[in-house]
Amino acid sequence: RAAKDGEGPVIEGYFSVFNSDYPLWPGATEQVAPGAFAKSLAGDYGECDVRALANHDTTLVLGRTTAGTLTLREDAHGLYGTIQINEQDTDAMNLYARVQRGDVSQCSFGFDIKSEEFVENPDGSVRWIIKDVVLYEVSVCTFPAYAETSVEARKNDLDTIRRREGELWKTKMKERINKCRS
């Protein structure tokens, strides 16, 4: 949401919501677990220097944690942030007006995964649960989504997991056959 506070215009909201499935492709989802941002925000992976961007565009910086123009916190619902909008920046003020009107109303984030869990459900669907990330940026977005490369990476992950399971099955079968022959 866009609002005015004592310091001027702000854009604030949730950049990530916990335990909410994000569809990657039919039968595959990803979600962020509570606590996934804690180590990054605490500086465990180096100084917490997160940028707020518009549509993941690094040329449209709206705020930055080290400048004090972006504040982030984790709560029970997700990753919440407040961006102090620079009134001298026409791009930022234009985005602020779009958020204020409701034309732009969603958010996203840029990250690297440090820890995750893979779950294969009985119906054959799969889910990745992101447990820990290095957070680089949060974005106010027109169309929030993981980049296509992330989806491709997940498909490659699934192929690798299934290939390993097949190799493990083959190894176990060979062991059984050798045991029977002995």
> Which pLDDT value is given to residue 149?
34
How does DSSP classify residue 166? Answer: H
Buried b (16+ CB within 10 A) or exposed e, 138-176: bbbbeebebeeeebeebeeebeeeeeeeeeeeeeeeeee
> Which pLDDT value is given to residue 181?
64
> Which pLDDT value is given to residue 173?
67
Beta strands in the chain (DSSP E): 2-5, 8-17, 22-25, 28-32, 51-54, 57-64, 70-74, 78-84, 106-120, 126-141
Tens digits of pLDDT across the chain (182 residues): 666 666 789 999 899 999 998 888 889 899 999 999 999 999 999 888 999 999 999 999 999 999 999 999 999 999 999 999 999 999 999 999 999 888 888 888 999 999 999 999 999 999 999 999 999 999 998 887 644 334 355 556 667 766 776 676 666 666 766 766 66
Question: Which one, of 93, 105, 103, lies nearest residue 144 by Cα?
Answer: 105
This prediction's pTM? 0.79
Token representation of residue 135: 């957070």
Burial class (CB in 10 A: 0-12, 13-18, 19+), 34: middle
SS3 14: strand
> Which pLDDT value is given to residue 147?
42
Beta bridge partners of 3: 10
SS3 92: helix
> Which pLDDT value is given to residue 144?
77
Which are the contacts of 7, defined by CB distance < 8 A and separation ≥ 6?
84
> Which pLDDT value is given to residue 101?
87
